Amino acid sequence: MPGNPALARFGQHSVPARVTAEMAHQGWDRPILAQLIDLPGELLRGDLGVSFFHGDQVAERLTETIPATLELSIAAILLAVPLGICAGVASALWRGSWPDYAAMTFALLGVSVPVFFLGICLMTIFTSMPTSGRVAPTMISQFHTDFFLCEAIFTGRFALALDAVRHLLLPAVALATIPAAVISRITRSSMLEVLSSDYLRTAKAKGATLWRIVWRHALPNASVPIVNIAGFQVGMLLSGAVLTETVFNWPGMGRYLVTAVREQDYAVVQGGALVIAAMFVTANLLLDIAYLWLDPRIRTQS
C-alpha cells in the first residue's frame, strides 16, 4: 500500500519533524530487512504490534473480535454444508427434471449475487429481524466471554441464546449462500460420476432401497471432493465475512480490518492478515487429516 502511516495519522500538512519523530519511535525508519528479521521473534512472543490510531495491542483486539467472526463463520458453514449436499444429491438423482433445474438455478444465483447486495436484500425483506450487532444492547453486560451464543447455550440461558440466534440468522444466511452453491455443484458432479458405477447398478439389481444406495454407498464414495471444496470454503468464509460484517454491523474481525484499512493502521492490517492466514492453513491441515479418515487408499499410499 502506498502512503505513510504517520502522515495518515497526523495529516498531509503536519510538521515534518513530528512525522520523523513518530517514524523513529515506531522503528519504521529502519531498513525493511532489519524490520523483517525482528518480525519472527515478535510473532513467537504473540506480539502483533500496537494500533497506531487507538494505542491498544493488536493481539488483544483481535482476540476480542475473533469469537464473533468464528460464530458467524461456523453458523454459515453449518447452513451451507447440509443445504449444498442435499441440493446436489437431489439434482444428481433427478437429473434433467425440475429438482435438478431448481438446484442448479439456486447454485447459479448463489455464486452470482454479491454478498453485500444479498445482505441488503435480506435486511429489506425481513424487517422484523435484527440487522446489526450480536445481541440487544441491554443484554451485552450479561455475557462474560466473547462467544455469546455458545455461552448462552452452555449456561442454559435460552432467552439470551434465542436473541443471539435472531441476530446471527441473517448474516449467516448471507454468508452461507456462496459456499452452499459451490458445494451443491461439486456434490452433483461427484454423485453423477459415482451413480454410474458398476457396484451401484449391482446394488440396485439386488433390490437395495434408494435411501441405502445414496447414503450408504454413493455419498461416502463421493465425499472426498465434497470435503475438499467444503474445507476450502471454510477458509473463503473468512474473506466473505469482511463484507458481511460490514453490511450487518457485526463486531467481528472483518469489520475491524475494514476500519484499519480505511485508517491505514498498518499494524492492525498486518496482524489481521497473519491471523486469517493461520486460520486458513489450519483449516486445510484438518482437511488433509480428514482425507486419511475418509479414503483408506490414501493411508495405504502414504
What would the mean pLDDT of 78-90 be, rounded to a whole number? 88
Query: And the C-alpha cell for 73?
Result: 463463520
pLDDT at 292: 74
pLDDT in tens, 25-54: 777 778 888 878 888 887 888 778 888 777
CA distances from 177 to 11, 37, 117, 186, 301 (A): 41, 42, 12, 15, 36
Neighbours of 98 (CB within 10 A): 8
Q: Does residue 207 sit in helix, strand or coil?
A: coil
pLDDT at 202: 81
pLDDT at 53: 75
Q: Which of 268, 264, 244 is nearest to 256 (CA)?
A: 268
Domains annotated for the chain, with CATH where assigned, are: 56-301 (1.10.3720.10)
pLDDT in tens, 87-143: 888 888 888 888 889 888 888 888 888 888 888 898 889 888 888 888 888 888 888
Residues with Cβ within 8 Å of 143's Cβ and at least 6 positions away in sequence, in order, are: 135, 151, 152, 160
CB 75, CB 172: distance < 8 Å: yes
Instruction: Evaluate if residue 276 carries a pLDDT over 80.
Output: yes
**% of the chain exceeding 90 in pLDDT:** 2
pTM, full prediction: 0.81
CB 164, CB 152: distance < 8 Å: yes
Q: Which of 240, 277, 246 is nearest to 259 (CA)?
A: 246
Q: Which of 131, 219, 236, 136 is nearest to 180 (CA)?
A: 236
pLDDT in tens, 237-252: 776 678 888 888 888 8
Q: How far is residue 237's CA from residue 232's CA, in Å, rounded to a whole number?
A: 9
Q: How far is residue 86's CA from residue 260's CA, in Å, rounded to a whole number?
A: 39
Flag the least confident range among 193-197, 256-260, 297-301. Answer: 297-301
